[in-house]
């Protein structure tokens, strides 16, 4: 016969362990679950999906943000947000490489080499947040030498509003600000190895 107190204690411990192990991605998971399936796409002329990111767009190169283009935005999209992170980083949370938001829905992409400024004139009104360095703007891939292939997820979110936030948000801050406004999501994955 199972001891009820032991069973309750086991369930409590399992719940705490689950929160510790998986809780770090909770905000992002919630944001992704609320993003309805759409036909929106994102691509780069610098690299193909699943293929290596050119050195010039990495920490070993010029740290230049890659060109990105998107299409098929869902109806009701007012602005876009982009998060680039590396879940293969040897740490609890993915390493954040780029946070940019309030990109007007009239834009069809981002040019190569977005400057590391908190506020941007091109695209007009766009704001940049903090990467894990922590600095503002894009920081290219630079995984530990010999750590294997890392995957860099450029996640594009379609938002039904202009977010009433300041520049300098972290990834978590941006996910929190847009969680009830996401109308679509897509991503492009590039790789890099040192």
CATH number at residue 153: 3.90.280.10
Q: In the predicted model, is pLDDT for residue 149 greater than 90?
A: yes
Q: In the predicted model, is pLDDT for residue 160 greater than 70?
A: yes
The order of strands in the sheet holding 109-110 is: 41-43, 68-71, 109-110
Q: In the predicted model, is pLDDT for residue 166 greater than 60?
A: yes
Cα-flanking dihedrals φ and ψ of residue 55, to 5°? -55, -35
Residue 17: what pLDDT? 40
- Decide: 44 and 128 in contact? Cβ < 8 Å: no
Q: Which residue range forms the structural domain that includes residue 147? A: 27-192
Q: What token pair was written down for 76?
A: 């009701």
The closest alpha carbon to 45, from 108, 102, 89, belongs to 108
Lowest mean pLDDT among 3-7, 46-50, 89-93, 155-159: 3-7
Residue 38: what pLDDT? 76
pLDDT-derived band of residue 35, with 50, 70 and 90 as boundaries? low
Note whether residue 32 is domain-resident.
Answer: yes
pLDDT digits (tens, 9 = 90+) for 42-52: 999 999 999 99
- Decide: 138 and 146 in contact? Cβ < 8 Å: no
Give 179 or 24, the one with higher predicted confidence: 179
Hey, CA dihedral for 160, 93, 141, 186, is it positive or negative? negative
Residue 79: what pLDDT? 98
Residue 24: what pLDDT? 44
Q: Are strands 109-110 and 68-71 parallel, antiparallel or unpaired?
A: antiparallel
Note whether residue 130 is domain-resident.
Answer: yes
Note whether residue 105 is domain-resident.
Answer: yes
- Mean of all residue pLDDT scores within the chain: 88
Count structural domains, the chain: 1
Q: What is this structure's pTM?
A: 0.84
Which residues sit opposite 192 in a β-bridge?
A: 150
Secondary structure element (H or E) that encloses residue 84, with its range = strand 79-86
Note whether residue 134 is domain-resident.
Answer: yes
């Amino acid at each position: 016969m199972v001891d009820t107190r032991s069973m309750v204690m086991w369930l409590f411990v399992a719940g705490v362990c689950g929160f510790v192990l998986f809780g770090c991605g909770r905000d992002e998971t919630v944001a992704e679950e609320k993003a309805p399936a759409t036909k929106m796409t994102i691509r780069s002329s610098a690299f193909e999906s699943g293929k290596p990111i050119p050195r010039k767009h990495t920490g070993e190169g010029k740290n230049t943000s890659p060109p990105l283009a998107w299409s098929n935005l869902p109806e009701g999209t007012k602005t876009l947000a982009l998060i680039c992170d590396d879940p293969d980083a040897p740490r609890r949370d993915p390493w954040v490489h780029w946070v940019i938001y309030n990109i007007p829905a009239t834009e069809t992409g981002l040019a190569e080499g977005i400057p590391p400024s908190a506020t941007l004139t091109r695209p007009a009104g766009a704001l940049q947040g903090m990467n894990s360095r922590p600095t503002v703007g894009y920081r290219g891939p630079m995984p530990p030498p010999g750590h294997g292939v890392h995957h860099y997820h450029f996640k594009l979110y379609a938002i039904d509003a202009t977010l009433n936030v300041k520049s300098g948000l972290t990834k978590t801050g941006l996910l929190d600000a847009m969680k009830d406004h996401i109308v679509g999501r897509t991503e492009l994955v590039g790789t890099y190895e040192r």
